């Protein structure tokens, strides 16, 4: 398996634009996580899906953020409208076993 695949790897966008980050989890994994990492706040859990169903989205910063998992092999994280403070590295991770998750290489988002 190729591991968790995220796209794009880098994204530069202007404030106010819509940004969509994509994730393909490892086949057979039933849990999917979206994280955001910054120097100030560390690695924050944004949302957690189990069997394609959102279980905990309490980490989603505000209504500008939304995440979907239409099927077991695809998830998106959308920011609309984007703001400079959203600049961060966004990681997707998938898991089939408690405590052990596999991370994608991340998307480095810069909002100017």
Partner 1 sequence: GQSLEQPSEVTAVEGAIVQINCTYQTSGFYGLSWYQQHDGGAPTFLSYNALDGLEETGRFSSFLSRSDSYGYLLLQELQMKDSASYFCAPNSGNTPLVFGKGTRLSVIA
Binding to partner 1 (CB under 8 A): which residues in 39-98?
41-45, 48, 55-56, 58, 91, 93, 95, 98
| Least distance (Å) between residue 41 CB and partner 1 | 7
The position carrying tokens 């939304």 is 66
Residue 58 sits at the vertex; the CA angle it makes with 93 and 3, to the nearest 5 degrees, is 5
Q: Are 105 and 23 in contact (CB under 8 A)?
A: no
Q: Are 101 and 89 in contact (CB under 8 A)?
A: no
- Residue 31, interface with partner 1 (CB under 8 A)? yes
Closer Cβ to partner 1, 53 or 63, answer by number: 53
Residues that bind partner 1 (CB under 8 A): 31, 33, 35, 41-45, 48, 55-56, 58, 91, 93, 95, 98-106
């Amino acid at each position: 398996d190729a591991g968790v695949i995220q796209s794009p790897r880098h994204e530069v966008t202007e404030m106010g634009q819509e940004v969509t980050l994509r994730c393909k989890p490892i086949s057979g994994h039933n849990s999917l996580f979206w994280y955001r990492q910054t120097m100030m706040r560390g690695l924050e859990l944004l949302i957690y899906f189990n069997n394609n169903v959102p279980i905990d989205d309490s980490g989603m910063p505000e209504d500008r953020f939304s995440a979907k998992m239409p099927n077991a092999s695809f998830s998106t994280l959308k920011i609309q409208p984007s703001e400079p403070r959203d600049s961060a590295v966004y990681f997707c991770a998938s898991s089939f076993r408690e405590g052990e998750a596999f991370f994608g290489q991340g998307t480095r988002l810069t909002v100017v």
